[in-house]
Structure 1
Amino acid sequence: MPEVAFPWHDTVWTQLTGQDQHAHAYLFSGLPGVGKRRFANAFAAFLLCTTPAQGMACGRCRSCLLREAGTHPDLLLITPEEEGKAIRVDAIRQLVDFMGQTSQQGGSKVIVLYPAEAMNQNAANALLKSLEEPTADTYLLLVTDQPGRLLPTIRSRCRGQRLPTPSRDAALSWLADAVPELNGDDRLILLQMAGGAPLRAQALHDLDAVKLRLGVVENVKALLKDQQSASQLADSWSKIPLELLIDWFCSWTLDLLKLQTGAIRHAENSDMDVVLGYMAKHVGAQQLMEWQDWLLAHRSMTLGKANLNRGLFLESLLLEWKQLLKKR
């Protein structure tokens, strides 16, 4: 029997499955790592089940057994052909054909599409036509980390459902069970890196992110002391996910802004407290805002899978960061 995604989604699940009628299209959103895909898959199982019980798929009917075997003819999963690539129009044409078919099991048909923001322009336009002409007993479940990147017309034709992030205590409790070898300090560090999303914290643990971050922090300190060059660091960070590096710089920048405005007295990124405290006193407010604009623009480009030259981008990022102390 598929579980309700995670305990922090119980309320949303109960509200959703308790409805007499369901929308033909849902848009599940939330932070990366809060369990959106698992929630959507569990909801797909519920919609396909012929004898749901207590708001859950039964796990025993023919429909459930076919789904668990990965052979359910009325369930379609649409994802990029390769991780990080776009969902192309051919995949949406397959979706359109699927929607037009009669259910082979005589019940509902369900499509799960993830990540929805990965659709290119042609694919998004093709999907829009299907949303304008919904098929009876066919449900489309879109899952996204970035709903703002979807066409407004797609968002408006779906029932939006944001999935919440758990409380810190709930997330730490789940992490303690999921990754028992982690000590309490590392759980806190990983959860902070993940913005409070426990599944992302678990994924960061799999990347050995605590060790990677320790090295990056030491590298940044060396950069500011002229002990290492930007090009040297860019080369040495070749195996660290770019999104992770950008997230760290965004978090440090937010701390700088809070320190300058007096919102906090010590950096929330405790491993950079001394560095950020010094920078907050020596970086001009205007320069800091310009740096933040530059960083967020490039973060958006990275999330949008722009074809950046990784080495040149990292070198530019490090030079811009270092120049903050010289632009006052």
Structure 2
Amino acid sequence: MAIENSHHESVKLLPWFEALGKAFNLESMPQAILFHGQPGIGKFDFARWLSKALLCEADLFSTGQKPCNACEACRWFDTGNHPDCITLLPQSLKGRLVQAELEGSPKMDPVAPEGQDDGDGKKESTFIKIDELRAVLGGINIGSHRGGKRIILIYPLESLREDASNTLLKSLEEPNPDTIFILVSDRLDRVLPTIRSRCQLIALPKPSRELALNWLESELKILLSDAARPEELEATIDEQAGAPLSARDQIVARHLGDDKDGVGLAINSTRILVEALSNGPKIGYLECAEKVQKAPYSALLVCMQRWLFDLQLSYQLGEVRYYRRHAQRISQLASQLQLTKAQRLWSTLTLARRHENHPLSTRVQMESMLLQYQQLFGD
């Protein structure tokens, strides 16, 4: 998962969301909005920008825009002290995504992502606890601190277990007119249909390739002392399916050699996995599974899916979509591919993604997947 914002600063509207941002009528908002789309395109950033705009106390006719970034409400939002904006995140994200709206949360160092050790031998939860949700929802019938709207931002929405989802549903069915729910999902298929039906669904698009590359180049000039090569930018954008924030995190971690935090660990592990997959029938599946076992299982599955997609695309059309820097090797492997077995593995990976939060050992599951991969080639 991309770090969509990681420090306290004025929230900026990403360029590919500018038209959408201008289209919102801030004076007539639905009680619940559900933003969904591909991970790593900035959905959380957009949700924060909208939250700030809704809480901005400036006169729109005087300023010409919201948020104004100058009123008391905007300053509170930027410093993390606005009492009417509450963000609910799983523990595994609280140290990595913006903590500005985390009610009562002290500053903390980055923590590990899904299923990773937090340094004390404990694993951070990847779910939003029902007690946290109840504590927030229990206060929505009390007037807001500033006498205006109260914003409840939940990300990712699919991190609510079934009991927590049903608790949220009750509040959506009997909404408080002064409370707006801004919900964000990376995996809409995992959100309860009854919750989806109570929200205005808005699909957030990824930017064009040209816009993504331009934004990525300007971001990296700020974040890195040494410039990334254009071919590296293009290859990484492709590998991340056009998601610019994911591409940024990949390149920054690669240049800084940082594999200690969750993002860096996932990036380094997927690199190891791609190198192993490029060996085709000669893959050392046991060794690879051991090396990547601490990475988020979901990241490994996505990597395998994209590699397998490229293999099948190369087999059928002679093209590669994601791993273009490995196009020659993929073409060689595709010539040995048994398509029926590849399609079976694709189905297995798709099913695994539906149950990727199952507590089974990542190492054991990856050994099974990689063994199946090894058997795709030759007779």
Q: Calculate the TM-score normalised by the size of structure 2.
A: 0.78
Structure 2 contact 313–319 (Cα < 8 Å) conserved: no
Unaligned runs of 5+ in 1: none
Shift of 1:79: 1.2
Alignment match, 1:316: 368
Does structure 2 conserve the Cα–Cα contact (< 8 Å) formed by 1:113 and 1:143? yes
- Equivalent of residue 77 in structure 2, options 67, 76, 90: 67
- Separation in structure 2 between the aligned mates of residue 271 and residue 308 of structure 1, nearest angstrom: 33
The secondary structure found in structure 2 opposite 1:249 is: helix
Decide which of 181, 196, 201 is 2:247's aligned counterpart: 201
Q: CA deviation at 1:222?
A: 4.2
Q: Aligned residues, how many?
A: 320
Indicate the residue corresponding to 1:139 in structure 2: 180
The answer to whether the 8 Å contact 1:217/1:272 transfers is: no
What is the aligned partner in structure 2 of residue 306 from structure 1?
A: 358
Identify the range of structure 1 (20-29 vs 77-86) with the bigger mean alpha-carbon deviation.
77-86
- Secondary structure class of the residue paired with 1:190: helix
Matches of 2:252 and 2:299, distance apart in 1: 13
- Call closer, same or farther: CA 1:132–1:62 in 2, change over 3 Å: same
The aligned residue for residue 202 of structure 2 is 161
| Matching of residue 273 in structure 1 with residue 327 in structure 2 | yes
1:185 equivalent among 231, 254, 258: 231
- Return 199-208 or 22-31, whichever deviates more: 199-208
Q: Greater Rg, structure 1 or structure 2?
A: 1
Aligned-pair CA distance for 1:12: 0.7
Contact 1:246–1:299 (CA under 8 A) maintained in structure 2: yes
* Segment drifting more, 271-280 vs 207-216: 207-216
Q: Which amino acid aligns with 1:188?
A: E
RMSD of aligned C-alpha atoms? 2.3
CA contact (8 A) 2:286 2:367 kept: yes
User: SS state of the match for residue 236, structure 1?
Assistant: helix
Deviation at 1:260, TM superposition (A): 3.2
Note the 1:75-90 alignment, pairs <5 A: 75-83=85-93, 84=114, 85-90=126-131
1:11 Cα shift?
1.0
1:3-38 CA distance string (max 9 Å, x none): 55201001111111x354110111111111111111
Alpha carbons of structure 1 residues 211 and 65: separation in structure 2 relative to 1, 3 Å = closer
Q: TM-score, normalised by structure 1?
A: 0.89
Pick from 274, 281, 285: which aligns with 1:230? 285
CA distance in 1, matches of 2:83, 2:365: 45
Does 2:64 match 1:54? yes
* C-alpha spacing 1:110/1:277, structure 2 compared with 1 (3 Å): same
1:220 aligns with one of 272, 277, 297: 277
Contact kept, 8 Å, 2:26 with 2:54, in 1: the verdict is no
**1:38 alignment counterpart:** 45
Larger proportion of helix: 1
- 1:41-73 CA deviation, whole Å, 9 max, x = no partner? 111111111214323122232322332332222
Residue in structure 2 matching 1:109, options 150, 171, 183: 150
Distance 1:242 1:183, change over 3 A: farther
Query: 1:285 deviation in Å?
Result: 2.7
Give the 3 Å change call, closer, same or farther, for CA 241–182 of structure 1 in structure 2: farther
CA contact 2:35–2:184 (8 Å) conserved in 1: yes
- Is the Cα–Cα contact under 8 Å of residues 259 and 277 in structure 1 kept in the other structure? yes
| Residue 213 of structure 2: aligned partner | 172
Partner SS for 1:99? coil
